[in-house]
Amino acid sequence: MRIRVKADGHTIFLPIPSCLLFNPLSALLVCKFAAPHVAALSGLTYAQTRALMHGLSRARRKLRGEPLVDVKGGNGEQVYVIL
């Protein structure tokens, strides 16, 4: 996954290995620690979280190079996420 943020004439580029994000351990961490604090994730079980991670991993293989998020703000800020 590659994340690029442009704001105020500066560019921040964060390459994150997808294998660190979409694996059973990260699904467990999301289920145990993130879900109680994020309203959108509050009802997810471990099996549902693993299914979500598996779906994102499959989408990464099919959509390689396609942008997942491409947002341009009114102040010239831009956020670009590629799976």
**Residue-wise pLDDT tens digits, 60-73:** 888 888 888 889 98
Domain hosting residue 40, numbered range: 2-82
Q: State how many domains the chain has.
A: 1
1 CB burial (10 A radius; 0-12, 13-18, 19+): middle
**Residue-wise pLDDT tens digits, 13-61:** 999 887 887 888 888 888 888 888 888 877 888 898 889 888 888 888 8
Q: Is the CB of residue 34 less than 8 Å from the CB of residue 49? A: no
Residue 65's alpha-carbon distances to 10, 59, 72, in angstroms, are 23, 11, 19
